Amino acid sequence: MLSGASVLVIDDDPAILEMVAGILEHAGCTTTVAQNAFHGLKLAREVRPSVIVCDMMMPDMAGSDVFRALAAQPTTARIPRIMISGHPGADCSCANAFLPKPFAAEEILSTLENALATPAVLRGAALREAQWRG
């Protein structure tokens, strides 16, 4: 199911970007990477990926703020969002799924498959609820 999906990965750690991109490309995904939140926001609007994977803790902007910004834009609001973090208390209220670091290849692939299988209508409802909680 992942073959042909386009995935945007946003993380400030080059090793994580390389690892995740390798896993996804091996599964048949087209992968775009961004090493900071602002570049990730720009790429999300330009590329309009099938799904976005974003780290929670980055120096320029928190992943939760990235997802709130994407949720506020009609062109990116319904793109599934997966938060990754090594911090158990990460704010993932604007994410469709949370994946704790470290994770295995099978975990990220199954999380992506689940996020892509969720109908856009349900993702939109979850977004409105997350925006309301704010």
Residue ranges of domains in the chain: 6-133
CATH of range 6-133; options 3.40.50.2300, 3.30.565.10, 3.40.30.10, 3.30.420.140: 3.40.50.2300
State residue 41's pLDDT score.
97
Rounded Cα–Cα distance for residues 99 and 87 (Å): 10
State residue 120's pLDDT score.
56
Describe the strand order of the beta sheet including 30-34 as a list of residue ranges. Answer: 30-34, 6-10, 51-55, 81-85, 97-100
State residue 1's pLDDT score.
64
Q: What are phi and psi of 94, to 5 degrees?
A: -100, 10
The answer to whether 72 and 33 have CB atoms below 8 angstroms apart is no
Q: What are phi and psi of 43, to 5 degrees?
A: -65, -35
State residue 121's pLDDT score.
45
State residue 70's pLDDT score.
95
What global pTM score does this model have?
A: 0.86
- Ranges of residues in the chain whose predicted pLDDT is under 50: 121-134
